[in-house]
Structure 1
Amino acid sequence: MMKKWVMLAVGILVAGFVGYQYYSSKTSSQTVSAQVRTATVQKGTLEVKISGSGTVQPVTSEDIKAKDNNNEIDEVLVATGEEVKEGDELITFTDGSDPITAPASGIVTTLSVSAGERVTSGQVIAHVTNYKDLQTVVQIDELDIPKIKKDQIVSLKINAFPDQAYTGKVASVSEEGTSSNGVSTFDVYIHIDKPENLKVGMSTEASILTATKESALYVPLDAIHSSNGEKYVQVLSATTSSQTNGGTEQKTVKTGLANEDYVEITEGLTEGELVQLPQLATGSSSSNTKGFMQGGGFGGANMGGMGGFNRNSGRQGQFSGRTGN
């Protein structure tokens, strides 16, 4: 008899514990569900950058060719590895014809002829590379190419020197693109300002500054919603707690400059207002965080008509940290 009472008591305790855990879980889920994410309308300098990866290359890397046919070489005045300046004589001929000169300053990296040999027209006899004047060539998506202009400022990260900052400027944009899997990319040539310690072939990451605006009002991208061709945000009233739902007002807005994180508000909001962001969870933190990332985070499907947000363009954005009036 005693044994039955003990088993009954254990059963009651287990049932009570399970019930408590279930109630606690439901209460926790409801609390998470009720939380509201918010952001303050701020003012600062908005920068839009387009990024691309590439490699360090010399600006000058040129074959030197013979112009005349069957000329006999009198003297070879340089050696492989020797530094030359543009216009320096490299090779002379026995018949007194015009010598071959360096087309640009640099290092003679190859030399394939010697005195007494005869050359043919168009024959490559040497190669000159300038390792002191370097550039990086990065690939940019075709949808971003119209925004890339000559002389735009570029921030460069060299993978071999992660703690060192490099800068450059856009020198030119290729007139022809390369297509792969239905997407075309174009080469953008960026001249490196001070290429100390850099070597040809090093990997680079470039951020090209394509637009900037000071004293811009801005909010996170995921604060913007779209309906019937209009954009709007949910603004919390001054008396509404940021930890509970309700108390919001829908305001129609107009947008301007935007990057992958923030969007400028040109009409409809004022600095300091509190806007509501999509919830990260509606019952289960793991499942709903996934849902946010797939269906609405950072603008999601609601960003139609915003312009400039497309297929992993590599667009970067930041605010400078200078805020205020």
Structure 2
Amino acid sequence: MTDSDNKRTFFSKGRGGKKRWIILGLAVVLIGGGAYGYTTFLTPQRAQAAFQVVNVGRGDVSETVLASGAVQASKRTSLSFADVEDAKDAISSITVKVGDHVKAGQVLATMDDSVAKIQVTNAQANLLSAMAKLEDAQKRKTAAEMNTLQANVNQTKAELELAKQTIDTQKAVNDEAKAKANLENAQKTYASQKALYEAGAVSKTDFESAQTALDQAQRDYDTAVLTASQTKGQSNSKVEQAQAAYDTAVEALNEAKEGPDAATVLSAKAAVEQAKAQLQQAQKSLNAVTLKAPMDGVIVQLNGSVGEIPGSDFIIMDNSNSGDLEVLAQISQSDIGKVKEGQSVSFTTSSYPDDTFSGKVKLIYPEAKTESGVTSYDVLLSVANKDSKLKIGMTMNVTIEIGTHQNVLVVPAQALQTMNGKDGVYLYNEGADSSSGRPYRFQQVKIGYFATDRVEITEGLKEGDKVVIMAMSQGSSSQNSTRMGNSTRMGGMGGMGGGFPGGGGSVRVMTR
């Protein structure tokens, strides 16, 4: 069993367990009791070494919790090409190997990026176009542009008025009326010539001339009618076109006066946002084919080669090369209530017996673990990796510094006893003899911080009181302290011999 295990076992027994140091020497005295004193069971020489008397004094008491745990990286991540839309392409390059130290953003591996680059270029062009349209939709017309719009209204209005005048239509109507009159005259002439010809008054040539003139007049009239009809249709169409042009010009002028159209601007903004999203997706696809380190760290696994299809855990890295690592320790149920986040922690390891590493309590996991009937809690501790000596997986001896109470009443740990489940000490009654009873009595006390060699007394004693320490108990305790070594950091002892508190403490050897 290691030194840390000894101390951990010592403390894990609870308040009662760690003070059950009723050793044989004191038991012999208690059994003898009363008038028998030491003469019945002890020779004078052995009686002189039976117990010591120590004054209750003041000193510092530092309480610690001991544990052990393994070094682990505070950050660890698994990298892959999982974000690639079609991650079936082979690896085109790998720029690192296991053990390499890398910086955040450093390229670790790549896949073919030609298609992804084209997609990014197209997305960028679409975004620029959408932004230009939005800018155009949002800007107001200049004074010059407003003048142009007004001039267009004036021009289209004039063209509309001109179209309404229907000059060509009137001419066509007049031509039709003239052709009709000519036709009627030709019809009369033909009828007259026909009657004269039948009467033999005119020649056949005159009659045929009248017939020809009638036919021509009919053709001229038909043409005039058709032309008039076409002219009317064209005139109506020109009026409608002129009216539409005028209405459009007026609408454009009014819109310019009102400012940008809200619906148009909203639609343009939506187009811009859509283009941005498309660019982000394209950029993500491009980034995904280039695997970069998300943090400073070291490559611990490389699961793939150039030309292969990468798996889900292609590259694994952590920050084990940093100065800030972690230790996961297990704290017993009896001690977990003392441990708080932020408490200072010191670490030792057999790999570097002369070094002490420092850290803090980072996290106390709320869920308990029970193994072989022992309940404990995981506690995460930070540890400064001094000179980069620590390696992942190293076993560390953990000392969590609970706190120090300074200038408090203390007694040697050997003096603490338990009677009927109550904490106490044997208080020395100076001047008592065998006829009046034992020279000590049990005094109940309340204790505070508890260290390997001393205990804080909060109630039941006062400074200068004398407590009994059995010689055999002292030797046993010294052995315990020796086995525990430096696993607990103690407060100053006041410079007294035997390691007892200062403040006038003395050692007496009792004899008959």
Tell whether the structures are fold-level matches, with TM greater than 0.5: yes
- Cα distance in structure 2, aligned partners of 1:246 and 1:32: 17
Offset at 1:41?
A: 1.6
| Structure 2: gaps (5+ residues) | 1-39, 117-284, 479-486, 495-501, 504-512
- Cα distance in structure 1, aligned partners of 2:41 and 2:362: 60
Deviates more, 1:228-237 or 1:105-114: 228-237
Q: How does 1:239-318 map to 2 (within 5 A)?
A: 246-248=438-440, 250-278=442-470, 280=472
Partner of 2:98: 80
Partner of 2:45: 31
3-state SS, counterpart of residue 143 of structure 1: helix
- Cα distance in structure 2, aligned partners of 1:64 and 1:177: 32
- Aligned equivalent of 2:316, options 121, 127, 130: 127
Output the amino acid matched with 1:321.
Answer: G
Task: Report the structure, 1 or 2, having the larger helix content.
Answer: 2
Output the amino acid matched with 1:40.
Answer: N
Higher relative contact order (CA 8 A, sep 6+): 2
- Measured at CA, do residues 36 and 187 of structure 1 come closer, stay the same or move farther in structure 2, by a change above 3 Å? same
| Structure 1: gaps (5+ residues) | 1-25, 282-288, 299-315
- Cα distance in structure 2, aligned partners of 1:103 and 1:186: 32
- Measured at CA, do residues 39 and 92 of structure 1 come closer, stay the same or move farther in structure 2, by a change above 3 Å? same
Output the amino acid matched with 1:45.
Answer: D
Partner of 2:156: none
Offset at 1:193?
A: 2.0
- Aligned equivalent of 1:320, options 466, 491, 494: 491
Output the amino acid matched with 1:73.
Answer: I
Output the amino acid matched with 1:77.
Answer: T
Partner of 1:12: none
Offset at 1:124?
A: 0.8
3-state SS, counterpart of residue 70 of structure 1: coil
Deviations 1:150-174 (A, max 9, x none): 2211121111111222211112233
- Cα distance in structure 1, aligned partners of 2:310 and 2:422: 72
Offset at 1:176?
A: 3.5
Offset at 1:29?
A: 4.3
Deviations 1:83-131 (A, max 9, x none): 11223332333243223222331111222234443335xx111111322
3-state SS, counterpart of residue 178 of structure 1: strand
The answer to whether 1:187 aligns with 2:202 is no
In the alignment, is the contact (CA less than 8 A) between 1:219 and 1:264 conserved in 2? yes
Output the amino acid matched with 1:31.
Answer: Q
In the alignment, is the contact (CA less than 8 A) between 1:169 and 1:193 conserved in 2? no
In the alignment, is the contact (CA less than 8 A) between 2:80 and 2:310 conserved in 1? no
Partner of 1:236: 428
- TM-score (norm: length of structure 2): 0.46
Partner of 1:307: none
- Aligned equivalent of 2:69, options 54, 61, 69: 54
Output the amino acid matched with 1:202.
Answer: M
- Cα distance in structure 1, aligned partners of 2:331 and 2:80: 34
The answer to whether 1:45 aligns with 2:64 is no
In the alignment, is the contact (CA less than 8 A) between 2:451 and 2:490 conserved in 1? no
Offset at 1:239?
A: 5.6
Offset at 1:60?
A: 2.7
Offset at 1:261?
A: 4.0
3-state SS, counterpart of residue 119 of structure 1: coil
- Cα distance in structure 2, aligned partners of 1:78 and 1:226: 65
- Cα distance in structure 1, aligned partners of 2:421 and 2:386: 48
3-state SS, counterpart of residue 32 of structure 1: helix
Partner of 1:305: none
Partner of 1:67: 82
Offset at 1:31?
A: 3.4
Q: What do you get for the CA RMSD once the two structures are aligned? A: 3.4
Partner of 1:11: none
Deviates more, 1:101-110 or 1:60-69: 60-69
In the alignment, is the contact (CA less than 8 A) between 2:56 and 2:411 conserved in 1? yes
Deviations 1:160-197 (A, max 9, x none): 11122221111223344432211122332221124322
- Measured at CA, do residues 168 and 318 of structure 1 come closer, stay the same or move farther in structure 2, by a change above 3 Å? closer
Output the amino acid matched with 2:96.
Answer: V
Percentage of pairs with the same residue: 28
In the alignment, is the contact (CA less than 8 A) between 1:60 and 1:104 conserved in 2? no
Partner of 1:100: 291
Offset at 1:263?
A: 2.2
- Cα distance in structure 2, aligned partners of 1:117 and 1:221: 67
In the alignment, is the contact (CA less than 8 A) between 1:153 and 1:208 conserved in 2? yes
In the alignment, is the contact (CA less than 8 A) between 2:399 and 2:488 conserved in 1? no
The answer to whether 1:148 aligns with 2:327 is no
- Measured at CA, do residues 31 and 240 of structure 1 come closer, stay the same or move farther in structure 2, by a change above 3 Å? farther
- Cα distance in structure 1, aligned partners of 2:489 and 2:302: 49
- Measured at CA, do residues 103 and 142 of structure 1 come closer, stay the same or move farther in structure 2, by a change above 3 Å? farther
Partner of 1:207: 399
Task: Report the structure, 1 or 2, having the larger strand content.
Answer: 1
Q: How does 1:2-41 map to 2 (within 5 A)?
A: 29=43, 31-33=45-47, 35-41=50-56
- Cα distance in structure 1, aligned partners of 2:45 and 2:490: 33
